[in-house]
Amino acid sequence: YLTKYDCSSADLNPIGGICKADLKRFLYWAGESETLNYKILHEIVKAPPTAELEPVTDEYVQKDEDDMGMTYEELTIYGRLRKISRCGPVSMLLNLLNEWSHMTAKQVSDKVKFFFRMYSINRHKMTVLTPSVHMVGYSPEDNRHDLRQIFYNVRWPWQFKKMDEIVKRFECGDKLD
């Protein structure tokens, strides 16, 4: 999640290739570490991530997760499934139906559809980014090793239709192959 040519514009972006969940864990560790003991990092971890594009008031703080319509934890799961496991919408749904048993199949499907719509709309932003350090197999910045197309049909007609069929079968108790 980024604002093109804002937080993405620099000569080097040391945290651009780190997923937010890993970054939060690192900052928490650095705050707790007896060697580093940077207690101020706890305040950074607790602060809601924001693009700060709108004025902050006593009643309102713009939050990335609200703007994205998903949590950073969900975004990390989607990103890893899309990039490392090479999942498209249908295979991601099949993976998450087993993992997210606390939701209905329709809720999981809606979340996956929303992710792929947003990914399609914003994919072009990921192709011109400042170089960053790559420390994990999954990175929000995928332009260095991902040579897939830039523009997608945001409706994903075949995939979303197939997902609707899978949801119906799942809710009827059919075994999915």
Higher-confidence residue: 135 or 101? 101
List Cα–Cα distances, 104 to 22, 98, 112, 174, in angstroms. Answer: 28, 11, 13, 15
pLDDT of the residue at 128: 64
Q: How far apart are CA 134 and CA 131, in angstroms?
A: 9
Considering the entire predicted model, what is its pTM? 0.78
pLDDT, tens digit, 9 for 90 and up, residues 47-105: 888 877 888 899 998 999 999 899 988 999 999 999 899 999 999 999 999 899 999 99
Q: CA–CA separation, 118 vs 98, rounded Å? A: 23
* Cα–Cα distance for residue pair 113/92, rounded to 1 Å: 10
